Amino acid sequence: MDLLKLKEDLQKTALGRGVLLAASKIYGVGAWLDRAAYENGWKTSTSVNSRVVCIGNITAGGTGKTTAVLLAATTLAKEGIRVAIVSRGYKRQQKTDEPVVLFDNPDADWRLAGDEPFMMSRVLNQYKVPVVICPDRAKAANEALRRFKSQIILLDDGLQHHRLKRDANIILVDAKNPFGNRHLLPYGILREPMTALKRASLILLTHCDQVSERQLEDIRDQIRIHNDTVEILESVHEPEYFVDICSTEKVDLTQIKGPAACFCALGHPESFETTLENLGLELKQKWRFPDHQFYTAENLRTFEETRGNLPLITTFKDFVKFPDNWRDILTKNVYVLSVNLKIRGGEKEFDKFTDILYPKFSKIKNR
């Protein structure tokens, strides 16, 4: 069932909106009970012998969380700090209750891990950063400690997961659509009420280049209502280069211009499309799929048969979910756009980010 389509259909009628609103109330009670169980000691949170930093959000999808985790992991690893990423592996197809470890394994299957953890593992392979997947994040963190003696555990998308205690929470807020209509799922986009912002050690605004300064200031004011002391940083997603997936060669951003086609399965596909248009591409065809969609040979044949001779562009997250026989279908002019997250404001602002990750970081960097 396409839940997104169902939600859109329900929003068209007063009765449907009432159903969604009622479901939001039920969702809210469930979320409150889960938090209360840990806060009151009815359930026990687990501590591990490592610093744990959560990078998450209070809304559903599209904040740029994965690029923030990658930035944190690469920054730490480059300074010789042993870092591991722990994730639940959302929507992975082959599920197990035991930890799955992605580390220096070119033959790993993304279906065991989920698309985002698998993509992160591929990107971080050169830095020897393990990614550990398990629905029980405490068990995953202990596995990272046992095997890799990790000094820092990055908890990927774990703000609503209370079983593993953390030392800091970095909460991402999408500047384009920070809080939706301020209702909880499924009527709105909030996973938790906005009061959850009080748990933030740092708030990182993303996609700041796609809104005005006045909008950014308004978002800051909304955040300050719930957390008037937290540091708020701004960030943008910067394209780095294209990768020709058929030849594995890097291609300069200036080399692909004019008419093109693209496809993606992201929480907010319009951000990806806007980025391509800002690079000088005229998108003649766009295919959008539900977030975490996996691709079939039939999907790829559709792209190939209808794009003409246009360059076909997607994301790394989408590429890792191609079927094994993709090379038999896509033979040329297919590219992945590599994007990284950049914190605005120079080194001083970046140091605020790294000091949340690891308070000793500035001493290590300047040694």
Tens digit of each residue's pLDDT (9 = 90 or more) over 330-348: 989 999 999 999 999 999 9
CATH of 51-237+342-365, one of 3.40.50.2300, 3.40.50.2000, 3.40.50.300, 3.20.20.150: 3.40.50.300
pLDDT of 168 > 70? The answer is yes
What sections of 81-189 are H helices per DSSP?
110-113, 115-124, 137-148
In angstroms, rounded to a whole number, what is the distance separating the alpha carbons of residues 102 and 140? 12
How does residue 364 score in pLDDT terms, banded at 50, 70 and 90? Answer: low
Please enumerate in sequence order all residues whose Cβ is within 8 A of that of 162, keeping only pairs 6 or more positions apart, or say none.
34, 35, 37, 38, 43, 45
Residue-wise burial string across 136-168, b where 16 or more C-beta atoms lie within 10 A, e elsewhere: bbbbbbbbbbeebebbbbbbbbbbebbbbebbb
Name the pTM for this structure. 0.93
Tell me if residue 217 falls in helix, strand or coil: helix
pLDDT of 51 > 90? The answer is yes
How does the average pLDDT of the chain come out, rounded? 93
Q: Which of 1-10, 142-151, 192-201, 216-225 has the lowest mean pLDDT?
A: 1-10
Tell me where in the chain the CATH 3.40.50.300 domain(s) lie: 51-237+342-365
CB 134 within 8 Å of CB 97:
yes
Q: Which residue has the higher pLDDT, 2 or 297?
A: 297
pLDDT of 1 > 60? The answer is no
Within 13 A of 71's CA, how many CA atoms are on the CB side? 22
pLDDT of 167 > 90? The answer is yes
In terms of Cβ atoms closer than 10 Å to its own Cβ (0-12, 13-18, 19+), residue 253 is middle
| Fold of the domain built from segment(s) 238-340 | Rossmann fold (3.40.50)
CB 354 within 8 Å of CB 231:
no
Encoded amino acid at 279, one letter? L
pLDDT of 58 > 80? The answer is yes
Tokens of 155: 């908890």
